[in-house]
Chain A
Amino acid sequence: MRFTTILLVALRALRRNTMRSILTALGIIIGVGAVITMVSIGNGAKAQVEASVASLGTNVITVYPFNMNAGAGAGGMRAGMGGAPTLTPEDADAIAAEVADVDGVSPYIQERAQVLAGGLNWQTQVFGVSSDYPYIRSWPIAQGGMFGEQEVKTLGKVAVIGRTIAEQLFPNEDPLEKTVRIRNLPFRIVGVLAPKGFNPTSGQDQDDVILIPYTSHMKRVSRRQNINQILIQGSAPEKLDKIKADIEDLLTQRRRGREPDFTVRTQEEIAALRTEANRTMTLLLAAIAGVSLIVGGIGIMNIMLVSVTERTREIGIRLAIGAHGRDVLTQFLIEAILLSSLGGVLGVLLGIGASEFISWRNGWPVLVSTTSVIVAVSFSAAVGVFFGFYPARKAAQLDPIEALRYE
């Protein structure tokens, strides 16, 4: 038979049982759809991590006030949080004074607070930082300037605001030198940060922020003794490991034999951790998708076996009028492959649709990769070959007389 004829015959057979064909292919459709969707989301997330790590600034080292290396992550965190002031501004000062190749240090303390200006109010993040903060985060100031070291030392009531705050509290006016009240304390606005947009990982508006001196934050706003993080700007990428080791030594020394209650991470390590988490997730989802493809394949095998039994007479007729065993084998195999590949193609469309929907709904960037589409479609065709072969061979080996007599 010509190949086009074989295809035609297979298509006719599938058309005869349209509903059943669709239901059979559904397993593959969902399997492939799942693969495409999760790979797209995974790729999108990977691109995001890269973007968000880059948005942190470059050559940044972060100190966290809990020990991620001791025991399970959550337990270590709780121990650190429960204890007395762990990470303090003095630690930051010590790092700035004693560790070599450090270009900038900023304590970082963060709290949500109600802010007011001219009758308008807004709930926002208030960051307590040093004057090095915009430099470390590679975050330029669009208008005005950053507060200086003097204001930090003197607990100055000065603020640098993000773009969103400027838009919300000072519509149609220049916010510079205006007053913003944070927990009812007046702060003078000395600068406006350049817009940074949404954080690609958390989806948070990064411009919805007010920077004030960490000293003012601790004494006047949050009244806390400890800080959330210390950010350190290293001078060059190749020096980061040395800087990290020096910081660890210094902080351990400062703890005077107490259990280390801090963790130092370079930006690369943070990125690697996030990528690792992402990869584990992707692998897990790929395994689920693989299982669903196998289940889909078994569904196809099942239906093909039913189909062979049901069409025993048809097979008998075909054999009687001159079909070779191979013709019958090809016919049923092509039917199975057609079922699974059609399922694959529909699954790809479903997957792309679902990815787009998720992207639109949650604002996650998704990346549909050509590789995943090709792999998914060829894998589903392979599923058809694998699970279609046994029923097809069973059909091809039928005895024409027996098959014709079959009721």
Chain B
Amino acid sequence: MAPVVQIQDLHKIYDSGEIPVHAVRGVSLEIQRGEFVALMGASGSGKSTLMNMLGCLDRPTRGVYKLDGIDVSQLDRNELADLRNQKLGFVFQGFNLLARTTALENVELPMLYGRHRRASMSEIRERAMHCLDIVGLSKRSDHFPNQLSGGQQQRVAIARGLVNQPQVLLADEPTGNLDSKTSVEVMGVFQKLNEEGITIVMVTHELDIARFCKRNLILRDGVVVRDEAVKDRSIAEHEMNRIAQAEAAAKLTSAPAA
């Protein structure tokens, strides 16, 4: 089967300042269906720029990017928008849910655009509810983002990313704003989705988070310096058990002292 993401010699040069910034300097890579990739690198390594190009939010200065066989460099603004709508799901670091809008309405959002724009409200509602169910939040569908914890908000965002059945789910530092336990919880959701066959690409700078993925790509100064499969992968379920035990133990030891 053809790779879902195919990149050849991709460059991005920012021309806006006095000195042109060469953020991505010739990246070539392929991502197959069903992969779970962590894109790592220090700040300024070009990982966010690469992510924006993968997400069809930004166009490469040079090079070829084929998403699901479609060459995106030839597409205009609206065609890119349709591509994002149909082929990609986005999860952001800051969750980026609409405030004062219920979880369900947030999940419905991608279906209001693109090929679903002719769908009836009840179909849209049903699909959104199904996706909330996948991330285990169907009982919170009428809650506003400010009534949800960070982990729950990120799960709503994941449900929103899933609702149009994307080819690739792109996550930009999805655990960046979460504590370690909630991070494991969110990674658990990603692992579960990946097991069901969804391709996931995420940016992270945390090594232990990257260990939940199947493949790690390390970027430095705009080029891929390392590309390896993860050995000894962390499994969210086991990590959760470990954390639960540690917490229980902490309570046991602290109880007599108090």
Contacts and interface: CB of A to CB of B under 8 A. Distances in A.
A151 interface: no
B238 interface: no
Given A12-B105, A318-B113, A320-B57, A325 B160 contact: no
Given A400-B57, A401-B52, A322 B114 contact: yes
Most buried by B among A2, A318, A323: A323
Given A4-B121, A5-B121, A322 B113 contact: yes
Nearest to A4: B121
B55 interface: yes
A317 interface: yes
Given A2-B118, A322-B84, A401-B52, A317 B96 contact: yes
Interface in B43-82: 52, 55, 57-58, 77-78, 81-82
A9 interface: yes
Contacts of A314: 98
B161 to A, nearest CB: 8
* Binding site secondary structure of chain B: helix
Interface in A40-75: none
B86 interface: yes
Contacts of B78: 324-326
A14 to B, nearest CB: 12
Which range contains the number of B residues in contact with the other chain?
20 to 34
A313 interface: yes
B147 to A, nearest CB: 15
B109 interface: yes
A16 interface: yes
A9 B112 contact: yes
Interface in B73-129: 77-78, 81-82, 84-86, 90, 92, 96, 98-101, 105, 109-110, 112-114, 117-118, 121
* Binding site secondary structure of chain A: helix
Which range contains the number of A residues in contact with the other chain?
20 to 34
A206 B165 CA distance: 82
A1 B112 contact: yes
Given A2-B117, A401-B52, A401-B58, A319 B81 contact: yes
Contacts, number: 64
Contacts of A404: 57, 92, 96
A327 interface: yes
Contacts of A2: 117-118
B96 A16 contact: no
B101 A321 contact: no
Given A1-B117, A16-B100, A322 B110 contact: yes
Contacts of A5: 112, 117, 121
B121 A320 contact: no
A322 B96 contact: no
Given A5-B121, A314-B98, A401-B52, A321 B58 contact: no
Contacts of B84: 320-322
B62 to A, nearest CB: 19
B110 A16 contact: no
A404 B117 CA distance: 23
Interface string A377-401: 0000000000000000000000011
Interface in A1-56: 1-2, 4-5, 8-9, 12, 16
Contacts of B86: 322
Contacts of B96: 313, 316-317, 404
Contacts of B112: 1, 5, 9, 323
Contacts of A318: 109, 113
Interface string A280-319: 0000000000000000000000000000000001101111
Contacts of B57: 320, 400-401, 404
A288 B117 CA distance: 44
Nearest to A8: B121
A318 B99 CA distance: 13
A9 B124 CA distance: 14
Contacts of A16: 99-101
Q: Which 3 A-B pairs have the closest CB atoms?
A: A322-B85, A322-B113, A321-B110
Given A318-B109, A322-B164, 16 more contacts: A8-B121, A12-B105, A16-B101, A316-B96, A317-B98, A320-B57, A320-B84, A320-B90, A321-B90, A321-B110, A322-B114, A323-B81, A324-B81, A324-B82, A325-B77, A401-B58
21 contacts: A2-B117, A2-B118, A5-B117, A12-B101, A16-B100, A313-B96, A317-B96, A317-B98, A317-B109, A319-B81, A321-B84, A321-B109, A321-B113, A321-B160, A322-B86, A322-B110, A322-B113, A322-B114, A326-B78, A400-B57, A404-B57
